[in-house]
């Protein structure tokens, strides 16, 4: 400011089981898997009994014939509905059989007798349970074993169900296909452990699909359970048979999840008109070896212009923005370390600035006489950090205020003075 003085003044035993499991791991794949395990009734007591009742030429022989739509095995099924049928046939063979002779049993003990136990179209997500199998009879006597018990389950892994090939440690390995997790007692999950052996996972057994993350299953120290990639498979078994089926092995490349930000300390600009603000980011965990953070910093709003884009690796759990050239404003940070994950965001990060230094300089009096130094100027300052200083020769020389917010300069000659004021941060008032 120029002052002239004049010369004036901001989350059973014996039964047949068909487990129909749809296991298609890739998106848009529609092939299902049908697993069948069966166990037939044994009739040694009934055979001996019939030999005693009908001892013709060496005795009789009883045969139970099972006819399945699907015998034991694993099948690839494309349709979402399949006809499941089961027929039990009974025949009696004699070395010499009188016409019209039969066992007289109520179920099937006459030559050529048969009975249909099941004829049903099994749909996706549907189960059938038959656990009241009748016993086979001869001459009024029944066998000790039931002819059959039966359990069927169809679980789809359809085009809507996907697995996460490269999940981070907190992501679910499989997604739910119908909004729920199915409990299947015949399924148990296994992983390939650090000792190169297939072992049961410690929890989440009998669940299909496996809607759980690596950390849900193993905890945060998951890397100590397996080497490199996580390998999973499920096995299907029953209590009545020694048959066991294993699924295909699924391999997951686990990456650490992008860490959450716990806090962002900021540094205000030193002056209202200087861009030297900055911030530091404190993460919930240190970065791991080989982990890189990608940053996108938007200025003014989440959709504002990208102020800066960085890719950094660093040691520890804190990072300081590198350029120290931020002006007072709101900033929005988008960042990630997991290359297959989504960007996380944080904001606003507000860089503040002190209030600007302002002042008013007013002449008090002109010199009394030509050539005298009796002129004076009063300077009133506000804003900034206080502890003001003034200069009347365009900043060449600085002097402290005699009072907190004002000062009177005296003993001035009649001329033009360039008055400037600054605070304790060195912020000079803009005029």
Q: Report how far residue 168's alpha carbon sits from residue 283's, in angstroms, rounded to the nearest whole number.
A: 17
Judge if the upstream peptide bond of residue 209 is cis by omega within 30 degrees of 0: yes
pLDDT at 132 over 50: no
Q: Supply the mean pLDDT for the chain.
A: 76
> How do strand 150-155 and strand 16-21 relate by DSSP bridges?
parallel
Q: Tell me, what's the pLDDT at 112? A: 45
Nearest CA to 77 out of 114, 12, 122, 113 is that of: 122
Q: Mind listing the pLDDT tens digit for each residue in 191-248?
A: 999 999 999 998 888 888 888 899 999 998 998 999 889 999 999 887 777 889 898 8
Q: Angle CA(340)–CA(344)–CA(345) in degrees, nearest 5?
A: 155
- Least confident range of 64-68, 153-157, 312-316, 412-416: 153-157
Q: Are residues 146 and 133 in contact, defined by beta-carbon separation less than 8 angstroms?
A: yes
Number of neighbours of residue 353 by Cβ within 10 angstroms: 20
pLDDT digits (tens, 9 = 90+) for 321-341: 887 789 999 999 998 876 666
Q: Is the model's pLDDT at 413 over the cut of 70?
A: yes
pLDDT of residue 30: 45
pLDDT score at 98: 46
Q: pTM here?
A: 0.62
Do the Cβ atoms of 368 and 7 come closer than 8 Å? Answer: no
At 347, the pLDDT band (50, 70, 90 cuts) reads very high
Which CATH code fits 261-351? 2.60.40
String of DSSP letters for 234-294: EEEE-SS---EEE---EEE--BPPPPPEEE--EE--SSTT---BEEEEEESSPPPTT--EE
What per-residue confidence (pLDDT) applies to 113? 53
| Residue 349: predicted pLDDT | 96
Q: What is the pLDDT of residue 109?
A: 39
Residue 2: the pLDDT is: 47
Break the chain into its structural domains and give their ranges: 16-155, 182-252, 261-351, 355-422
Quick one: pLDDT band at residue 420, thresholds 50, 70, 90? very high
Tokens of 275: 């861009």
Least confident of 87-101, 361-375, 387-401: 87-101
So what's the pLDDT on residue 58?
Answer: 43
- The per-residue b/e assignment along 277-295, b for 16 or more CB within 10 angstroms, e otherwise, is bbbebebeeebeeeeebeb
Q: Is the pLDDT of residue 12 over 50?
A: no
Q: What is the pLDDT of residues 280-313, one digit of tens each?
A: 999 998 888 777 888 889 999 998 888 888 888 7
- Kindly tell me if the per-residue pLDDT of 387 is higher than 80: yes
């Amino acid at each position: 400011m120029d002052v002239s003085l004049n010369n004036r003044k901001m989350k059973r035993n014996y039964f047949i089981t068909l487990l129909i499991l749809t296991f298609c791991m890739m998106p848009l794949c529609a092939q299902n898997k049908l697993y069948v395990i069966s166990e037939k009734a044994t009739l040694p007591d009934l055979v001996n009994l019939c030999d005693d009742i009908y001892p013709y030429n060496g005795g009789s022989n009883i045969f139970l014939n099972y006819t399945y739509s699907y015998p034991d095995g694993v099948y690839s099924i494309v349709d979402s509905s399949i006809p499941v049928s089961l027929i039990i046939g009974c025949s009696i063979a004699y070395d010499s059989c009188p016409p019209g002779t039969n066992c007289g049993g109520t179920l099937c003990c006459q030559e050529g007798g048969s009975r249909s136990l099941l004829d049903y179209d099994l749909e996706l997500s549907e189960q059938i349970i038959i656990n009241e199998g009748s016993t086979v009879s001869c001459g009024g006597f029944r066998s000790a074993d039931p002819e059959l018990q039966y359990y069927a389950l169809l679980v789809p892994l359809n085009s809507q169900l996907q697995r996460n090939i490269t999940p981070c440690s907190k992501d679910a390995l499989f997604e739910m296909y119908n909004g729920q997790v199915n409990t299947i007692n015949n399924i148990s999950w296994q992983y390939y452990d650090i000792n190169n052996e297939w072992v049961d996972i410690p929890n989440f057994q009998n669940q299909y699909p496996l809607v759980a993350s690596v950390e849900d299953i193993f905890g945060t120290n998951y890397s100590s359970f397996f080497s490199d990639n996580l390998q999973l498979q499920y096995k299907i078994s029953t209590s009545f048979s020694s048959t066991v089926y294993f699924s295909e092995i699924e391999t997951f490349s686990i990456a650490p999840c992008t860490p959450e930000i716990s806090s962002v300390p900021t540094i205000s600009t030193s002056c209202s008109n200087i861009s030297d603000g900055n911030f530091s980011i404190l993460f919930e965990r240190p970065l791991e070896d080989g982990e890189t953070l990608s940053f996108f910093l938007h200025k003014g709003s989440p959709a504002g212009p990208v102020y800066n884009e960085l890719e950094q690796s660093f040691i520890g759990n804190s990072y300081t923005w590198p350029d120290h050239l931020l002006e007072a404003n709101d900033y929005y940070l988008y960042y990630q370390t997991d290359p297959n994950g989504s960007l996380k965001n944080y904001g606003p990060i507000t860089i503040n600035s002190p209030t600007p230094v302002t002042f008013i300089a007013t002449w008090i009096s002109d010199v009394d006489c030509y050539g005298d130094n009796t002129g004076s100027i009063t300077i009133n300052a506000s804003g900034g950090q206080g502890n003001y200083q003034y200069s009347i020769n365009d900043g060449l020389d600085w002097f402290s205020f005699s009072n907190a917010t004002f000062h009177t300069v005296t003993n001035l000659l009649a001329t033009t003075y360039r008055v400037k004021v600054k605070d304790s941060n060195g912020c000079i008032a803009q005029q």
